[in-house]
Amino acid sequence: MSELTQSKAWLALLKHYDEIKLVHMRELFDQSDNRFARYSLQLNDILYDYSKNRINDETVELLLQLANDVELPLWIEKMFSGEPINHTEHRAVLHTALRDQRDQPLIVDGIDILPEIREERKRVKQLAEKIRTRKWRGATNQAITDVVNIGIGGSHLGPLMVTEALRPHTLHDLNMHFVSNVDENHINDTLEYLNPETTFFIIASKTFTTQDTMVNAETARQWYINKLGSEECIERHFSAVTSNVTLAKDFGIAENNIFKIWDWVGGRYSLWSSIGLSIVIAIGAEQFDELLAGAYEVDQHFRHAPLEKNIPVLMALLGIWYNNFFEAQSMAVLPYDQHLHRFPAYLQQADMESNGKYVDRQGHEVDYTTGPVVFGEIGIAGQHAFFQLLHQGTKMVPADILAPVYDFRCIVKHHRALMSNVFAQTEALMRGKTEQEVYQELKAEGLDEIQIKQLMPYKVFLGNRPTSTLLFDTLDAKTLGSIIALYEHKIFVQGVIWNINSFDQWGVELGKQLAKNIAHELNDEKLVKSHDCSTNGLINHYKRQRSKKTCKK
């Protein structure tokens, strides 16, 4: 039995769960008029409403007790001060340093890391500004019209998500492209319409060894050379963001165009670093600073607000409540702002790569469940796709809803329709529809008693389905920075409570290792028998079919 599941707070939560599990949120709302005031918090432009959750004061108190029992405040300090809390890789976890606005040194391994961070950011901004103002010229003296970021995972999802989210702030005559899939369709579909003379590549890879990225980077380089007939001016068209400067240089990238990241920045937490080069090119230095400022404000809030008023802490505790006591397996993230359409994909990596772990900090298998399956989609699209399951399925899917008070163009007709859905969905999921309500509705529609009886079971909604809503004024860079940081810290808090290391990702290694070996086996037409019969069967079928067609190398 783990310390966690034996802790006083955990046992008390188990008992409390038994008492509250059948209580309907309708009752909770009926009992108190000020439930919204009690269970909502405001941080700058963001309102966090967590009142439509299956909680009462005792739930919150016990969850806070749990956070205190695992010494959460101490862990928060450990992270911010640069202790090597990523113990399996002996690394500090300092994405917060990348947005630190204070004038105080931050010492890691005897060195103040802030000057180097700021220096590197200056270089990023200088390059970005030259490209944005058309001062950066390609090999044939033309300005850049297209920027292609080649990367995957954290070197892709964060920059793509932010660039899409802040689309209104991007330049209209500078197109951003993001290539991640090693499937040739991705890079070739992208390059097909581009002009090498006006295209600039960013090879974004912390390690500079990720197979997918390196294969795509090589294809991009070859495309450039083939089209322009020379390797000479490659430095006018290629840059790299990496912690492996040597490999980037070996690839042929000029030192001036290599931007550093540090091993204390996790890939999925790296959009604030030079990995954000594509973001800075897209939105400009000022907007990028706003993004950092928004995140910094949340960092301050997370570090200093008492736990009971601390938004990421409450977000995390609610997740624990559903995950470990209600045994919810998943959580949905549902942005109602179209510009946040890549946010669910971004959050999937941030959350699932961080907390999808069954081994605790002491190396033991845990006896409780950890990270949920995170999924999501633009809320309106989800309503016409998977919301049926959220409303009437047999699984509880706690959902986060994100919506703006103003959208970018502030068009009343669209926004009213959008927001009416936001409010309606959270209400419907919470209240459901009782038999009595269905009866009255069908009666009013003119159905007879037999018809009503037949339809009744299908029309009833049990409700009691939890949602939390983040309602923000508008999706500007600062607010976006804050939203991302809220989720980063939420993930951290959950990792602390589950006693797992949220900052390594050993689980992605096995597949990579096997793929490397199999890639060798795919070099010839010899049939293989080194695997299980299914894998052998698949590989051999592939080889036979493939041999019927002549393909390019």
Catalytic machinery residues: 353, 384, 512
Least spacing, CB of residue 10 vs ligand F6P, in Å = 30
Question: What is the C-alpha separation between 500 and 357, in angstroms, rounded?
Answer: 7
Q: What is the dihedral of CA 543, 544, 545, 551, to 10 degrees?
A: 60
- 198 to 217: interface string for ligand F6P, x by CB under 6 A: -------xxx--x--x----
Least spacing, CB of residue 182 vs ligand F6P, in Å = 12
Among 155, 216, 338, 502, binds ligand F6P (CB under 6 A): 155
Partners of 176 in the β-ladder:
147
- The reply on whether position 514 binds ligand F6P by CB under 6 A is no
* Residue that is written with structure tokens 């409700």 in the block: 463
Q: Of 524, 495, 552, give the one whose Cα is nearest residue 72.
A: 495
CB-CB contact of 206 with 155 (8 Å): yes
The structure tokens listed for 222 are: 């070859």
Q: Which stretch binds ligand F6P (CB under 6 A): 49-57, 151-159, 190-198, 327-335?
A: 151-159
Q: Of 113, 146, 382, 397, give the one whose Cα is nearest residue 263.
A: 113
Q: How many residues bind ligand F6P (CB under 6 A)?
A: 14
Strands 175-179 and 111-112: unpaired
- The reply on whether position 152 binds ligand F6P by CB under 6 A is yes
Q: Which stretch binds ligand F6P (CB under 6 A): 80-88, 147-155, 288-296, 524-532?
A: 147-155
Radius of gyration of the chain from its Cα atoms, rounded to whole angstroms: 26
Question: What is the C-alpha separation between 67 and 13, in angstroms, rounded?
Answer: 12
Q: What is the DSSP string of 265-291?
A: S-GGG-TTSGGGHHHHHHH-HHHHHHH
- 491 to 510: interface string for ligand F6P, x by CB under 6 A: --------------x--x--
Least spacing, CB of residue 256 vs ligand F6P, in Å = 21
List the interface residues with ligand F6P, window 265-324 (CB under 6 A): 267-268
- The reply on whether position 371 binds ligand F6P by CB under 6 A is no
132/177 with CB nearer ligand F6P: 177
161/442 with CB nearer ligand F6P: 161
**Other beta carbons less than 10 A from residue 279's beta carbon:** 28
Residue 27 makes CB contacts below 8 A (sequence gap 6+) with: none
Q: Which stretch binds ligand F6P (CB under 6 A): 33-41, 148-156, 279-287, 428-436?
A: 148-156
101/517 with CB nearer ligand F6P: 517
The structure tokens listed for 482 are: 């804050």
Least spacing, CB of residue 268 vs ligand F6P, in Å = 5
Among 138, 154, 404, 466, binds ligand F6P (CB under 6 A): 154
The structure tokens listed for 350 are: 């941030």
Binding-site ranges for ligand F6P (CB under 6 A) = 152-155, 205-207, 210, 213, 267-268, 353, 505, 508
